[in-house]
């Protein structure tokens, strides 16, 4: 039996975090797919047009952006085209 088989998946994540932090995100994806199924590891693709139909004054759209991503102009354009009011709140 190899040592990889004796460690549970969570302990493998801890070791990867300690020894190879650059591989951590990839390992998280593999862990989630392994433990919960690949459905939870897939990023759903959406268009802004489909998102606006899902939102209203009580159901906001929340974006978690990576560095360099800036959809604000597209959002302002979409809001104007659909006669919606866009309120932007930065969480940091």
Mean pLDDT over 59-84 rounds to: 84
Q: What is the pLDDT of residue 49?
A: 80
16-44 pLDDT, tens digit per residue, is: 999 999 999 999 999 999 999 888 888 77
pLDDT digits (tens, 9 = 90+) for 38-63: 888 887 777 888 877 777 778 887 87
70 within domain boundaries: yes
Number of structural domains the chain divides into: 2
Judgement on whether residues 12 and 35 belong to the same structural domain of the protein:
yes
**Range(s) of the domain holding residue 36:** 3-41
Q: Are residues 27 and 57 in the same domain?
A: no
Evaluate whether residue 77 is within a structural domain.
yes
Kindly tell me the burial class for residue 13, based on how many C-beta atoms sit within 10 Å of its own C-beta (0-12, 13-18, 19 or more): middle
Does some domain include residue 8? yes
Is there a single domain that holds both residue 26 and residue 54? no
């Amino acid at each position: 039996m190899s040592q990889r088989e004796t460690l549970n998946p969570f302990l493998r994540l801890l070791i990867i975090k300690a020894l190879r932090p650059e591989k951590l995100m990839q390992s998280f994806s593999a862990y989630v797919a392994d433990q919960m199924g690949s459905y939870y590891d897939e990023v759903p693709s959406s268009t802004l047009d489909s998102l606006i139909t899902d939102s209203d004054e009580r159901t906001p759209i929340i974006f978690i952006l990576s560095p360099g991503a800036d959809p604000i102009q597209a959002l302002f354009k979409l809001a104007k085209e659909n006669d919606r009011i866009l309120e932007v709140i930065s969480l940091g």
